[in-house]
Amino acid sequence: MLPTHVLAGMLLAAPLVRTAPELAPVGFAAGFLGGLLPDLDMYTGHRRTLHYPVYYSVLSVPALLAAVLATSAATVAAALFLLGAAVHSVADMYGGGLELRPWEGNSDRAVYDHHRGTWIAPRRGVRYDGAVEDLALSAGLSVPLLLLVEPPLRAVVIGTLAVALVYTVLRRRLAEIAALLIPVLPDALDPYLPERYR
Range 37-66 average pLDDT: 95
Q: Is the predicted pLDDT of residue 191 greater than 80, yes or no?
A: no
On whether the CB atoms of residues 88 and 5 are closer than 8 A, the answer is yes
User: Would the pTM of this model clear 0.75, i.e. be above it?
Assistant: yes
Average of per-residue pLDDT across 16-36:
97
- Neighbouring-strand partners of residue 113: 118
Q: Which residues contact 182 (CB under 8 A, 6 or more apart)?
A: 193, 197, 198
Helices 73-91 and 2-11 pack at an angle, to 10 degrees, of 140
Residue 195 has pLDDT above 90, yes or no: no
Q: What is the pLDDT of residues 64-113, one digit of tens each?
A: 999 999 999 999 999 999 999 999 999 999 999 988 899 999 999 999 99
pLDDT above 90 as % of the chain: 82
Mean pLDDT, the chain, whole residue set? 94
* Confidence category of residue 2, pLDDT binned at 50, 70, 90: very high
| Predicted pLDDT at 198 | 66
Helical segments of 12-126, H only: 16-19, 24-36, 53-69, 73-91
188 vs 103, higher pLDDT: 103
pLDDT of residue 61: 98
User: How far are the Cα atoms of 3, 44, 53, 66, 95 from residue 89, in angstroms, in the given order?
Assistant: 14, 16, 5, 22, 11
Task: Extract long-range pairs of 142-145: CB within 8 Å, 24+ residues apart.
Answer: 142/7, 144/11, 144/14, 145/7, 145/10, 145/11, 145/14, 145/28
Residue 154 has pLDDT above 90, yes or no: yes
Task: Say whether pLDDT at 183 is over 90.
Answer: no
Section 116-139 average pLDDT: 96
pLDDT at residue number 190: 79
What is residue 65's predicted lDDT score, i.e. its pLDDT?
A: 98
Contact in structure between 46 and 194 (CB atoms under 8 Å): yes
